[in-house]
A and B are shown apart, each in its own frame.
Chain A
Amino acid sequence: MYDFQYAKPARLADAVKMAAEADSKFIAGGMTLLPALKQRMARPSTLIDLSGIAELTGISMQEGLLTIGAMTCHFEVASSELVHAAIPSLSALAGTIGDQQVRHRGTIGGSVANNDPNADYPAGLLGLGATIATDRRVIPADDFFRGLFDTALDEGEVLTGVTFPIPDAAAYMKFPSPASGYALIGVMVSRTGGNVRVAVTGGGHGVFRMATAEAALAADWSPQALAEIEVDHDLLTDDHSAPVLYKAALIRVLTARAVASTIRPS
C-alpha cells in the first residue's frame, strides 16, 4: 500500500471541504477500499475517514419512510428492530453481505457509492425504489446507479443516507458465489400498491431493473406469471462467475422464488 495522509473530520462540511482541496478519497468501512489500496489500484493523497461524523450514522422512521445513515454498518441494519419491522427483506439482505466481521465494518453508504456489479445493496435500493441523499442533493435510485462501479455521485460529493418507502411486499433472493459470497445473481422484488419493481445484481454490467418481469408481476403477483419471461441477454456478461445462459436461468428462478416467498400459503 502506498502511504497517504489521513484525516478524520467531525463535521460533514469539513469532509466536503477537504475533498475539494486534495486528491483524496473518502473511506467508509473500508471493506473494498483497503483491499484495493493494498493492490495499489488507487493512490489517493489523502484518505478522509467519514466515521467521525455522527450525523452519518443511525436508523430512523419519519412520515412513513425509513432512513439509514450512510455510515451505518451492515450488522446494524441486519439487527435493527426498526428495519425488521418496516422492511424485513432489507434486514435479510444486509445479513447476507460478506461475513460477520465484514458486516461489523462495511457500511450501506460505502457499498452504494462503490456500486460493485455483484453487491447486494444496489439491488436492494433499486428494487425498493429508494432515494440517495448527499451533502448537496437527493437522487432517486433509478438515476443513481450507472453501471460498473459508476454512480451519479460527483467528485467530492458525500453520500449521507438512503431513504426507503415501505413496500406492501418485498423479498430479496441471492445465489451467493460459493467462493466469494458475493451475489452471483441477486434479485430484489417489491410491490407497493400497483407499482412493482424488480432489480437484479450480478448480471455483469451493474444492477438493472427487469421491465418484462415488472409488467408481468404488476398484472399477476405470482411466480407463475414469470413462466414465459425472457431475460435480456445484453444486460448479462459471460465471465469467470457464470455464462450468460446460466445467469439468465438464475434470474428467472430467483425472481420467482422471491415472489413466492412473499405469498403466504393459504
Chain B
Amino acid sequence: MPTVSLTINGEHVTTEVENRTLLVQLLRDQLSLTGTHVGCDTSQCGACVVHRDGRSVKSCTILAVQCEGANIVTIEGIAPPGGLHPMQEAFNHHHGLQCGYCTPGMIMSLLDLLRVDPRPDEHVVRKWLEGNICRCTGYQSIVDAALECADRRASGEHAHV
C-alpha cells in the first residue's frame, strides 16, 4: 500500500493509505481527528475545510497522496489542548453556532481570510464564506464573530491570531 508523509498540526505523520483515500478520511478515520467534518462530500458545504500549506482547502476533495510533504492544520491544531483560539472565543461570545456541525470549517475558512485580509468588512466576510454553509444561524452571528476577532486582533488584544 502507498505511504504518505506529511505534517499534521505540527506533528510529522507517515502512514499507509490507499491512493483513493481522501485527506478527510485520513484525518478522521485513521488519525481520529474528528473535528474536521464531512457534510456534503461534494465540496460545497465547507464542513471539511482545513489548511494545506497555509491555504484553506476542502479536505473531502483532495487525495491524501496529493498531500505528500504538505503542512496540514486542522481545527484541533489552532489552540492548545483545553484552550480556545480567539476566533473560537468570538464564536462563543456571539453565539456563532447552534448545532456546531459547520463550525470547524467556518473557523478554518475565517482564519485563512484574516491571514490574507486582516481587516475585512462585512461584505468581504460574507463573500469569503460562500463555500461554508450553515443551516442554523442565518450567518449573522458568524459574521459578527469574524469581525470582532479581526477588531480585537487589530487593537492588539491577540497579536498571534
Residues of B contacting A101 with CB < 8 Å? Answer: 43, 46, 49, 56-58, 109, 131
Say whether, besides A38-B41, A100-B56, A105 and B62 are in contact (CB < 8 Å): yes
Residue from A2, A6, A31, A181 having most chain B Cβ neighbours under 10 A: A6
Residues of B contacting A180 with CB < 8 Å? Answer: 44
Say whether chain B's binding surface is mostly helix, strand, loop, or mixed: mixed
Interface presence of B89 (CB below 8 A):
no
Residues of A contacting B19 with CB < 8 Å? Answer: 3-6, 47
Say whether, besides A4-B20, A100-B128, A101-B57, A30 and B62 are in contact (CB < 8 Å): yes
Contact of B20 among A2, A8, A31 (CB under 8 A): A2
A 197-235 to B, binary, CB cutoff 8 A, 1 in contact else 0: 000000000000000000000000000000000000000
**Which residues 24-55 in B have Cβ within 8 Å of A in the complex?**
41-44, 46, 49, 55
Residues of B contacting A4 with CB < 8 Å? Answer: 19-20
Q: Cβ of B20 and Cβ of A1 under 8 Å apart? A: yes
Chain B interface residue number, banded: 20 to 34
Please, how many angstroms separate the alpha-carbon atoms of A101 and B132 in the complex?
A: 9
Residues of B contacting A102 with CB < 8 Å? Answer: 43, 58, 131
Q: Cβ of B43 and Cβ of A31 under 8 Å apart? A: yes
Please, how many angstroms separate the alpha-carbon atoms of A49 and B131 in the complex?
A: 25
Q: Cβ of B42 and Cβ of A35 under 8 Å apart? A: yes
Say whether chain A's binding surface is mostly helix, strand, loop, or mixed: mixed
> A6: nearest residue on chain B (CB-CB)?
B19
Interface presence of B71 (CB below 8 A):
no
Interface presence of B140 (CB below 8 A):
no
Interface presence of B15 (CB below 8 A):
no
Residues of A contacting B49 with CB < 8 Å? Answer: 101
Chain A nearest CB from B15 CB (Å) reads: 15
Q: Cβ of A105 and Cβ of B61 under 8 Å apart? A: yes
Q: Cβ of A98 and Cβ of B131 under 8 Å apart? A: yes
Interface presence of A51 (CB below 8 A):
yes
> B128: nearest residue on chain A (CB-CB)?
A100
Residues of A contacting B41 with CB < 8 Å? Answer: 38
Chain B nearest CB from A28 CB (Å) reads: 11
B 49-83 to A, binary, CB cutoff 8 A, 1 in contact else 0: 10000011110011101101000000000000000
Q: Cβ of B130 and Cβ of A100 under 8 Å apart? A: yes
Contact of B66 among A30, A31, A38, A75 (CB under 8 A): A30
Q: Cβ of A105 and Cβ of B46 under 8 Å apart? A: no
Chain B nearest CB from A49 CB (Å) reads: 6
Say whether, besides A3-B20, A102-B43, A30 and B63 are in contact (CB < 8 Å): yes
Interface presence of A34 (CB below 8 A):
yes
B 1-27 to A, binary, CB cutoff 8 A, 1 in contact else 0: 010000000000000001110100000
Interface presence of B112 (CB below 8 A):
yes
Residues of A contacting B63 with CB < 8 Å? Answer: 6, 30, 34, 47
Residues of B contacting A5 with CB < 8 Å? Answer: 19
Residues of A contacting B132 with CB < 8 Å? Answer: 99
Please, how many angstroms separate the alpha-carbon atoms of A38 and B41 in the complex?
A: 9
Q: Cβ of B61 and Cβ of A31 under 8 Å apart? A: yes
Please, how many angstroms separate the alpha-carbon atoms of A51 and B53 in the complex?
A: 14
7 contacts between A and B (CB under 8 A): A30-B66, A35-B61, A37-B20, A47-B63, A75-B55, A99-B132, A102-B131
Task: State the A residues within 8 Å of B (CB).
Answer: 1-6, 8, 30-31, 34-35, 37-38, 47, 49, 51, 75, 98-102, 104-105, 180-181
Known: A38-B41, A49-B66, A101-B56. 11 other contacts (CB 8 A): A1-B20, A6-B2, A31-B61, A34-B22, A34-B43, A35-B42, A51-B66, A99-B132, A100-B112, A100-B131, A105-B62
